Amino acid sequence: MQESAYFDKYNPIGGVWDEMYGADSNVRDHYRKVIEYISRESADDLNKKEELAKRLFMSQGITFTVYNSGEGIEKIFPFDIIPRIITAAEWAFVEKGIKQRLTALNHFLKDIYHNQFIIKDGVVPIDIIYSCPHFLREMYQLQVPYDIYVHISGIDLIRDHDGTFYVLEDNLRTPSGVSYMLENREITKRLFPDLLPQCGVRSVTEYPSILYKNLLALSPRQIANPNIVLLSPGIYNSAYFEHTTLARLMGVELVEGRDLVVNNHKVYMKTTIGLQQVDVIYRRVDDEYLDPLVFNPSSMLGVAGIMGAYRKGNVAIVNAIGNGVADDKAVYTYVPDMIRYYLNEEPILKNVPTYQLGNDDEREHVFKNLNNMVVKRTNGSGGYGMLMGHAASDEEIADYKKEIIKEPRNFIAQPTISLSAAPCYMQGELKPRRIDLRPYALFGPDGIEIVPGGLTRVALKEGSLVVNSSQGGGSKDTWVLA
Q: Minimum distance between the CB of residue 155 and another protein, rounded to whole angstroms?
A: 28
As a whole number of angstroms, the distance between CA 443 and CA 217 comes to: 11
Query: Residue 343 has what DSSP assignment?
Result: I
Question: What HEC string does 216-277 produce?
Answer: HHCCCCCCCCCCEEEECCCCCCCCHHHHHHHHHHHCCEEECHHHEEEECCEEEEEECCEEEE
Closest CA to 325 of 159, 122, 106, 477: 106
Residue span 441-470 as binding mask against another protein, x where in contact by CB under 8 A, dash where not: ------------------------------
One of 47, 244, 418, 468 touching another protein (CB under 8 A): 244
Residue 442, H or E segment: strand 440-444
The distance of closest approach from Cβ of residue 253 to another protein in the complex, given in angstroms and rounded to an integer, is 6
Does 209 sit near another protein (CB under 8 A)?
no
- Given CA atoms 362, 365, 368, 374 in this order, what sign does their dihedral have? negative
Nearest distance, CB of residue 108 and another protein, angstroms: 35
Length of the chain: 482
Q: Looking at beta carbons only, is 59 or 344 nearer to another protein?
A: 59
Q: Which of 234, 383, 415, 472 contacts another protein by CB under 8 A?
A: 234
DSSP state of 290: H
Closest CB to another protein among 86 and 255? 255
Q: How far is the CB of 425 from another protein (least distance, A)?
A: 25
Is residue 68 a contact residue for another protein (CB under 8 A)? no
Which CB sits closer to another protein, 166 or 240? Answer: 240
Residues 73-92 that bind another protein (CB under 8 A): 74
Give the nearest distance from C-beta 235 to another protein in angstroms: 5
Say if residue 279 is exposed, middle or buried (CB neighbours under 10 Å; 0-12, 13-18, 19+).
buried
Helix axis angle for 43-59 and 178-191, nearest 10°, is 140
- Based on CB atoms, which residue is closest to another protein, 86 or 229? 229
249-288 binders of another protein (CB under 8 A) = 251-256, 258-259, 269-274
We find the least distance from the C-beta atom of residue 61 to another protein, in angstroms, to be 5
For the chain, how many helices (H) and strands (E)? 16, 23
Interstrand relation of 64-68 and 71-75 (parallel, antiparallel or unpaired): antiparallel
> Of 81, 2, 90, which Cα lies nearest the Cα of 39?
2
Quote the DSSP letter at residue 123: S
Nearer to another protein, 115 or 271 (CB): 271
Is the CB of 302 or the CB of 389 nearer to another protein? 302
The number of angstroms, rounded, from the C-alpha of 280 to the middle of its chain's C-alpha atoms is: 22
Tell me: does residue 332 bind another protein (CB under 8 A). Answer: no
Instruction: For residue 425, give the nearest of 80, 7, 184, 33 by alpha carbon.
Output: 80
The Cα–Cα gap between 247 and 229 comes to 8
In the bound state with another protein, the residue whose beta carbon lies nearer, of 239 and 321, is: 239
Q: Does 58 bind another protein (CB under 8 A)?
A: yes
Q: How far apart are CA 79 and CA 428, in angstroms?
A: 15
**Judged by CB under 8 A, which stretch of 16-24, 244-252, 284-292, 293-301 contacts another protein?**
244-252
61 binds another protein, rule: CB under 8 A = yes
Q: Which is nearer to another protein, 102 or 239 (CB)?
A: 239
Question: Of 201 and 252, which has the nearer Cβ to another protein?
Answer: 252
Residue 51 or 407: the one with the smaller Cβ distance to another protein is 51
The window from 55-63, 102-110, 142-150, 197-205 that contacts another protein (CB under 8 A) reads 55-63
How many residues interact with another protein (rule CB under 8 A)?
27
Among 6, 240, 334, 440, indicate the residue that binds another protein (CB under 8 A).
Answer: 240
Dist. CA 448–CA 96, nearest whole Å: 10
Binding residues for another protein, per CB under 8 A? 58-61, 71-72, 74, 234-235, 240, 244, 247-248, 251-256, 258-259, 269-274
